């Protein structure tokens, strides 16, 4: 469309100044949009990708939060819940009962892990056992059982249990069969399909068993020091002072975690809030990449409209009037992208339940919420406007004389200017940074987190741009130096990267960001799993033992089993309470309230000789046969509780009081399964109810037989196979990585769309080049080769830059945070380069559809 056509409705007044308002500017803007629909279609898609990811994440987080609040009582099966990992004393239980008597009623739920087997499958399986009072549990919500009978009827005797379908399958059982837990047989009375308080119970093994409290007592699994979750559920009278009741419970159970119907499950709620914040910031990357594409497309578009802009200025139009036209275009593109993004965001929102169904047993309905759609659209429009500020400011420098020069590539928006004339552009860049920083702060709810995120992302973009420019420069020099030895198709394909209007560096940055983030997720996922496998539990053994009561008998028995190599190492622990330090009662110590609460329930480990992971810093370690009570603490504990060598502490251990001197301070210099904080001599606790855990090295082929033998001889000992543990860890890591990669692909998608937009923006030049090459005798195959090489170089260099930076980023995280070695992954780098090259080819040819079908004569006549 000619410049005169665009300005035909504009009449110059006598003062040679054009005066046109919003209506005329809108008409001109619409005509330009209508003249190049393909180019602007990709711009709209670039905005839509970011809006879809952002609105989908925010919408699902809101829906999940709403589900937690709507079903708050059902999720905790009560009005108020107190959860602790320590067995309360009889006096504490009496106080809790008294509180419940004044305000309502109480029931106790105990959950622990154990082993179960059957006559059909003698190799035991790890399960979660939950003991309840079936006459009142749950206070709120509904158990889904098969057969659909009341729980009290199914658990009418203490030898009945209901189990999950997975356990039936693993143990080859059917309802009515016999199940053995902790050396005690149970009759399977039914199948447990769903529990209302499953989330509040924690994320233990998937195979679960529900028994009555007397039935749980029959198993003898719960002893002093056993690892078990104790939940006290309160059903309260109407109009009681909930905060006052919580204060009273906290006074009885200072280390308990309280939640009530006003907040649902706080742990899950905080996890959802944190996850939503993280994923929102990930989605913001896609929005930024998409907005970068808008800026690139608008810059290319303005370069192509130099004649039109110059003519309007020659007719008297002011720069702000011309900028108004393209600002209206940008606004319309942002709105259109926002609408499409909101629609796509609804699909993203619907997909999240499928992505996380293995983590959360209870998932929300996902209704459409207009407020988050409006937020997503607003952010899309704002991001679009922010990124188009620098290109629009370039209109100020377009001179009317440009129409007579007709050298658009050199005298357009990028003409050489004095640094003072570039100040508005620098101000525009600063505005972009500040604007997106504000968005990041709003999404994260934290100024510090938002600032760190934008600083890191900005540094990554600048680094990507610098590396991409350096690579293109080096490649250009290399191609020029070896031009005579390179095939003509390669020379032409590489030269196309520098065609006027071809935004190679912007495409490299956009694709590189997506590649970097996606590959970083994969590398971090693999690094974490490798760390767990190579540096984690496997060093101490591949079979772990919990809840050992008689350490010597168990270790001798296991060491005698076929396939067991070496000694079985065990560590003892006992739960205690600190009464005073140097005669000063705990409540009078100069410590924070939290530290004083920590001293109420403290876990002490036992050791004879100093364990190998420890390094003595001060004092002396006792000899292996020491029987006198002595104490060694870590440097961290010494600092937190202001302890010094020679201090005397009084502990209450299993109803007995011990006065113990502090004789040693140590650091834990090596990784270990055991975290040493407070240590007593092993022999000093002889006669106390010490609980042990340990590990054994077993031939993997013999593990099932060893597990079966341990279960038959010591049914209350829980055995955990390293392979099963790693499988569970890998499933959890894979689930998280799946969600992150899902959103990271939006950033890659935005990069691909930018490539399409760049190709579409240079379509006219490409059609002209194809016509000239055909006229000179160029075969269709060679022309295809030229463009394919151009697209492949763009993709491969994007993959190279993004892959290298992903490896560097993962190396930093592994060294600084995971403290694990990381080796540069050349294989993944090559795969990413090949993958992005193929992706860029597909995107480039999609945007170049039908350019090879143009007849040379028709195109050249148009010249």
Burial of 356 by CB count in 10 Å (0-12 exposed, 13-18 middle, 19+ buried)?
Answer: middle
β partners of residue 126: 115
Q: Which residue has the tokens 């396939």?
A: 563
Residue 416 has pLDDT above 90, yes or no: no
Q: What is the mean pLDDT of residues 797-814?
A: 84
Note the pLDDT of residue 98. Answer: 94
What's the CA dihedral at 564, 567, 571, 572 to 10 degrees? Answer: 90
374 falls in which pLDDT band (50, 70, 90)? confident
d(Cα 614, Cα 663) in Å, to the nearest integer? 15
Residue 139 has pLDDT above 80, yes or no: yes
Structural tokens at position 606: 């036992």
367 falls in which pLDDT band (50, 70, 90)? low
Which tops the pLDDT comparison, 797 or 270?
797
Cα angle, residue 776 at apex, residues 773 and 778 outer, rounded to 5°: 55
Structural tokens at position 506: 């912007």
Residue 413 has pLDDT above 50, yes or no: no
CA distances from 685 to 245, 389, 606, 624, 815 (A): 38, 73, 8, 13, 40
What crossing angle do the helices spanning 763-775 and 780-813 adopt, rounded to 10°? 140
Structural tokens at position 3: 């410049």
Note the pLDDT of residue 493. Answer: 75
Residue range 490-547, pLDDT digits in tens: 777 777 777 665 667 777 777 787 788 778 877 877 777 666 655 544 456 778 888 8
Q: What helix, strand, coil percent values describe the chain, rounded to 5?
A: 55, 15, 25
Terminal-residue alpha carbon distance, the chain: 14
Q: Give the least confident one: 208-217, 354-363, 524-533.
A: 354-363
Say whether the peptide bond before residue 138 is cis (omega within 30 degrees of 0).
yes
Q: Give the least confident one: 58-67, 215-224, 317-326.
A: 58-67
Structural tokens at position 783: 């022309």
Max Cα-Cα span within the chain: 109
CA distances from 699 to 117, 123, 566, 714, 727 (A): 22, 16, 11, 20, 18
205 falls in which pLDDT band (50, 70, 90)? low
Instruction: Break the chain into its structural domains and give their ranges.
Output: 1-46+278-445, 72-263, 467-537+722-863, 564-698
Which tops the pLDDT comparison, 390 or 142?
142
Note the pLDDT of residue 599. Answer: 87
Q: What is the mean pLDDT of residues 828-851?
A: 82
How much of the chain exceeds pLDDT 90, in percent?
16
DSSP class of 825: -
d(Cα 623, Cα 609) in Å, to the nearest integer? 6
Query: Are the beta carbons of 572 and 682 closer than 8 angstroms?
Result: yes
SS3 555: helix
Cβ neighbours around 11 below 10 Å, total: 10
Closest to 825 in 3D by CA, of 533, 529, 526 = 526
Note the pLDDT of residue 501. Answer: 57
Residue range 609-618, pLDDT digits in tens: 888 888 899 9
d(Cα 519, Cα 824) in Å, to the nearest integer? 12
SS3 113: strand
Which positions ≥6 away from 294 have C-beta within 8 Å? 43, 46, 47, 330, 333, 334, 384, 387, 388
Read out DSSP for 361-414?
A: SS-------HHHHHHHHHHHHHHHHHHTHHHHHGGGG--TTHHHH--HHHHSTT
Which positions ≥6 away from 418 have C-beta within 8 Å? none
Query: Are the beta carbons of 787 and 848 closer than 8 angstroms?
Result: yes
DSSP class of 823: -
Residue 15 backbone zone (phi > 0: left; psi -120 to 50: alpha; other: beta): alpha
619 falls in which pLDDT band (50, 70, 90)? very high
SS3 602: strand
Query: Are the beta carbons of 314 and 18 closer than 8 angstroms?
Result: no
Highest mean pLDDT among 53-57, 265-269, 755-759: 53-57
DSSP class of 846: H
Which tops the pLDDT comparison, 679 or 36?
679
DSSP class of 203: S
Residue range 265-304, pLDDT digits in tens: 666 666 667 777 777 777 777 787 777 777 777 777 777 7
Closest to 127 in 3D by CA, of 158, 76, 164 = 164
Q: What is the mean pLDDT of residues 118-143?
A: 88
What pTM, to 2 d.p., does this model score?
0.66
Note the pLDDT of residue 476. Answer: 77
Residue 608 has pLDDT above 50, yes or no: yes
Query: Are the beta carbons of 223 and 549 closer than 8 angstroms?
Result: yes
């Amino acid at each position: 469309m000619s410049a005169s056509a665009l300005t035909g409705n504009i009449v110059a007044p006598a003062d040679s100044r054009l005066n046109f308002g919003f209506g005329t500017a809108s008409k001109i803007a619409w005509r330009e949009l209508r003249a190049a629909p393909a180019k602007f279609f990709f711009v709209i898609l670039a905005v839509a990708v970011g809006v879809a990811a952002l609105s989908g994440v925010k919408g699902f987080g809101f829906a999940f939060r709403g589900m937690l609040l709507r079903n708050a009582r059902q999720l905790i099966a009560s009005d108020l819940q107190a959860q602790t990992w320590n067995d309360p004393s009889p006096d504490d239980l009496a106080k809790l009962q008294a509180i419940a008597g004044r305000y309502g009623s109480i029931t106790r739920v105990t959950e622990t892990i154990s082993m179960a087997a059957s006559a059909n499958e003698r190799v035991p399986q790890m399960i979660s056992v939950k003991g309840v009072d079936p006459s009142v549990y749950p206070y709120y919500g509904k158990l889904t059982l098969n057969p659909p009978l009341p729980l009290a009827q199914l658990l009418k005797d203490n030898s009945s249990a209901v189990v999950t379908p997975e356990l039936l399958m693993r143990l080859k059982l059917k309802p009515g069969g016999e199940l053995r837990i902790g050396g005690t047989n149970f009759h399977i009375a039914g199948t447990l399909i769903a529990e209302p308080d499953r989330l509040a119970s924690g994320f233990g093994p998937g195979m679960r068993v529900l028994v009555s409290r007397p039935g749980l007592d029959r198993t003898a699994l719960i002893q002093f020091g056993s690892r078990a979750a104790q939940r006290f559920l309160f059903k309260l009278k109407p109009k009681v002072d909930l905060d006052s009741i919580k204060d009273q419970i906290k006074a009885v159970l200072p280390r308990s975690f309280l939640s009530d119907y006003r907040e649902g499950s706080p742990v899950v709620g905080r996890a959802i809030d944190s996850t939503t914040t993280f994923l929102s910031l990930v989605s913001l990357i896609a929005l930024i990449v998409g907005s970068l594409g808008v800026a690139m497309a608008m810059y290319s578009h303005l370069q192509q409209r130099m004649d039109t802009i110059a003519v309007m200025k020659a007719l008297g139009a002011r720069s702000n009037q011309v900028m108004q036209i393209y600002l209206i275009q940008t606004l319309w593109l942002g709105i259109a992208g926002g609408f499409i993004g909101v629609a796509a965001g609804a699909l993203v929102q619907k997909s999240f339940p499928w992505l996380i169904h293995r983590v959360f047993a209870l998932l929300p309905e996902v209704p459409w919420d207009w407020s988050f759609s409006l937020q997503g659209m607003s952010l899309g429009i704002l991001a679009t406007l922010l990124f188009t500020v620098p290109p629009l400011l370039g209109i100020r420098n377009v001179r009317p004389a440009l129409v007579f020069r007709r050298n658009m590539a050199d005298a357009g928006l990028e003409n050489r200017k004095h640094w003072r004339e570039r100040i508005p552009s620098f101000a525009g860049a600063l505005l972009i940074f500040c604007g997106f920083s504000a968005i990041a702060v709003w999404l994260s709810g934290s100024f510090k987190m938002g600032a760190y995120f934008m600083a890191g992302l900005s540094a990554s973009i600048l680094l990507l741009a610098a590396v991409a420019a350096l690579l293109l420069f080096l490649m250009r020099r290399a191609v020029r130096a070896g031009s005579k030895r390179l095939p003509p198709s390669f020379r032409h394909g590489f030269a196309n990267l520098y065609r006027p209007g071809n935004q190679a560096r912007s495409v490299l940055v956009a694709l590189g960001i997506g590649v970097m983030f996606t590959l970083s997720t994969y590398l971090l996922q693999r690094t974490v799993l490798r760390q767990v496998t190579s540096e984690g539990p496997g060093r101490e053994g591949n079979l772990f033992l919990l809840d050992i009561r008689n350490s010597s008998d168990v270790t001798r028995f296991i060491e005698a089993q076929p396939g067991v190599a070496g000694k079985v190492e065990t560590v003892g622990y006992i739960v205690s309470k600190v009464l005073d330090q140097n005669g000063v009662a705990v409540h009078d110590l100069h410590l924070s309230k939290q530290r004083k609460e920590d001293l109420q329930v403290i876990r002490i480990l036992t050791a004879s000789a100093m364990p190998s992971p420890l390094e003595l810093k001060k004092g002396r370690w006792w000899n292996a046969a020491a029987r006198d009570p002595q104490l060694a603490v870590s440097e961290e504990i010494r600092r937190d509780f202001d302890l010094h060598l020679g201090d005397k502490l009084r502990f209450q251990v299993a109803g007995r009081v011990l006065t113990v001197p502090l004789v040693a301070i140590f650091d834990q210099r090596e990784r270990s399964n055991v975290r040493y904080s407070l240590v007593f001599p092993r022999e000093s606790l002889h006669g106390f109810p010490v609980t042990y855990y340990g590990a054994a090295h077993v031939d993997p082929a013999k593990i099932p037989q060893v597990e079966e033998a341990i279960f038959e001889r010591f049914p209350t000992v829980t055995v955990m196979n390293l392979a099963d543990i790693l499988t569970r860890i890998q499933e959890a890591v894979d689930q998280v990585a799946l969600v992150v990669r899902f959103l990271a692909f939006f950033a890659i998608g935005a990069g691909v769309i930018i490539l399409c937009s760049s190709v579409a923006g240079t379509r006219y030049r490409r059609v002209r080049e194809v016509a000239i090459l055909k006229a000179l005798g160029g075969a269709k195959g060679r022309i295809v080769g030229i463009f394919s090489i151009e697209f492949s170089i763009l993709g491969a260099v994007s993959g190279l830059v993004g892959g290298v930076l992903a490896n560097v980023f993962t190396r930093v995280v592994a060294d600084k945070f995971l403290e694990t070695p990381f080796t540069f992954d050349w294989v993944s780098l090559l795969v990413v380069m090949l993958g992005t090259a193929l992706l860029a080819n597909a995107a480039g040819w999609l945007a170049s559809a039908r350019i090879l079908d143009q007849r040379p004569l028709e195109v050249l006549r148009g010249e």
